[in-house]
Structure 1
Amino acid sequence: MDVTPLIPEGQQVIETYGDGGFRVSGTHWTGSVLIMPQRTLSWAPEAFAQITLESLSPLINAEDRVQVLLLGCGKGAQLPSKDFRTSLREHGIVLEAMDTGAAARTYNVLMAEERAVAAALIAVQ
């Protein structure tokens, strides 16, 4: 499924998702990914239960700060705990959890609007 919008040059864009991976700015990634405006990283969690603040440390500690984190929970949306959301908020990050497809599409829209957004996406088949 192609979800490519017009994105400012040099920014990461999610071109496709599914089949256990993603294509981001022309590069194929197998497994889950952490996408920030300037770079994409492999991300260890394969399921919602594996997501921790530590797994998000590359984003939390990034030089380029983001304000919104879109969490792609896999095939269905799940709600992270209040403590988890509060901890991210203490770092200046608002968390929006949804299924991975919705998170990928929303990331591209917000990136096209030049918002300070990142996405943590669990791969789906």
Structure 2
Amino acid sequence: MAKFSPDPVAAGPAIRGFSGGGFRIDEQVFADGALLTPETAVEWQAPAIEALDLDAIAPLLAHEPTAEFLLLGTGAALRRPSPAFVAALEAKGIGLEVMDSRAAAHAWGVLRAEGREIVAALMRLDR
């Protein structure tokens, strides 16, 4: 399992490292991916990037207050979601930042330490 030194810790779930294709969040391993809010982390069976829609991230959209943006980790490499997904998020007033899942895991810690109101969807690292 790879580990990295987390940035200053904010309240809520902290990504502590990687385990296989998944993530170690606090003291729990999320083998298949994760959805994160400032308060919670839940296991996520992500669809293929081409099939990603708002239903797949419904728990994040229900978060109050509405997130500034969704941090989307697309696995081992950066892959773009469909324009329809991006437009649907924008229609809800939520921005989108897309990066590979390792970079997204690091960005989560940095942005949460800054107190940013964000949510994240992290796909397995080996996708």
Kept after mapping to 1: 8 A contact 2:19/2:29: no
Is 1:104 the counterpart of 2:105? The answer is yes
Instruction: Determine the structure 2 residue equivalent to 1:4.
Output: 6
CA–CA separation in structure 1 for the residues paired with 2:46 and 2:96:
17
Uncovered stretches (5+) of structure 1, i.e. residues with no partner: none
Deviation digits for residues 4-38 of structure 1, max 9, x if unmatched? 11122x31111112412111122222211101110
Instruction: Provide the secondary structure at the position in 1 that maps to 2:88.
Output: helix
- 1:21-40 superposed matches below 5 A: 21-40=22-41
Kept after mapping to 2: 8 A contact 1:31/1:46: no
What CA RMSD, in Å, does the superposition of the two structures yield over aligned residues? 1.6
Kept after mapping to 1: 8 A contact 2:52/2:85: no
CA–CA separation in structure 2 for the residues paired with 1:64 and 1:40:
16
Instruction: Provide the secondary structure at the position in 2 that maps to 1:66.
Output: coil
Q: How far off is 1:64 after superposition?
A: 3.8
* Structure 1 residues 34 and 28, CA gap change in structure 2 (3 angstroms): same
**Runs of 4+ residues deviating >3 angstroms:** none
CA–CA separation in structure 1 for the residues paired with 2:27 and 2:13:
9
Deviation digits for residues 65-121 of structure 1, max 9, x if unmatched? 211111110111011222211111122211111110111111111001000111100
CA–CA separation in structure 2 for the residues paired with 1:46 and 1:102:
20
Is 1:118 the counterpart of 2:96? The answer is no
Q: How far off is 1:46 after superposition?
A: 5.5
- 1:1-125 superposed matches below 5 A: 1-8=3-10, 10-45=11-46, 47-125=48-126
TM-score, normalised on structure 2? 0.88
Q: Percent identity?
A: 31
Kept after mapping to 2: 8 A contact 1:47/1:122: no
CA–CA separation in structure 1 for the residues paired with 2:15 and 2:103:
12
TM-score, normalised on structure 1? 0.89
